[in-house]
Amino acid sequence: MEAVKAEIVQCQRCEGMNIHDVTQAAPGYGSPESPVVVVGQSLCGKPCMRAQIPFTGGSGRFLNLALERAGLTKSDIFTTNVVHCHPPANRPSLPHEIANCRPYLLRELKIIQPRLVVGLGKDASAALRDVYPDADAMPWPFAAPPGRQPRAASPKLLAVPHPSWIKWQPLERREEYVESLARALRWAFGSSKPR
């Protein structure tokens, strides 16, 4: 994982990307032994670039609330993005950027071999379906399947609305979002405790 992180930080595959404090890249963050990986479309703005941690500040607070409710911290799980850089002016990621960054995401997922992969937003969820075409899609809001899934099997996929959308929804819907995400995190960890 350290080798992957070093390559992401130094990557120059896309013109205009990975410029310090403008479109800077950040690798995935958290435990390489996590049973759950949370994937966004692209790196958020300056808070994420400076912290070098995906989902820092802003709409990441919904993920933080779900983690807290599940008894976890961001370092217990693994968070990453389909595109590890922050696109200029918050524009959507371009197809060639997604393609150029795909090998990094594939390597992160191969190292971790999660039970559950959560895609935040439509673009991230679509990219994950391409990575895991035969994986079972879980319903949203999350409903835990019976039993626990082995780590070696293809993970379950959970497509979740992007937190930047949910922050504009009524309080009741935001509460349901946080609780459902917390249930998914608890299911993925099961009885195992983070180290």
pLDDT per position as a tens digit, 124-176: 999 999 999 999 999 999 988 776 655 546 899 999 998 888 889 999 999 99
Q: Which residues fall within 8 angstroms of residue 187, CB to CB, at 6 or more apart?
A: 116, 142, 144, 145, 148
* CA distance readout (Å), 151 to 36, 114, 186: 10, 6, 15
In the sheet that 156-160 helps form, which strands lie side by side, from edge to edge?
29-30, 78-83, 36-42, 116-120, 156-160, 137-138
Q: Is the pLDDT of residue 195 over 50?
A: no
pTM (two decimals): 0.93
Domains and CATH numbers, the chain: 2-189 (3.40.470.10)
Residues 41-97 pLDDT 10s: 999 999 999 999 999 988 789 999 999 999 999 999 999 999 999 999 989 999 999
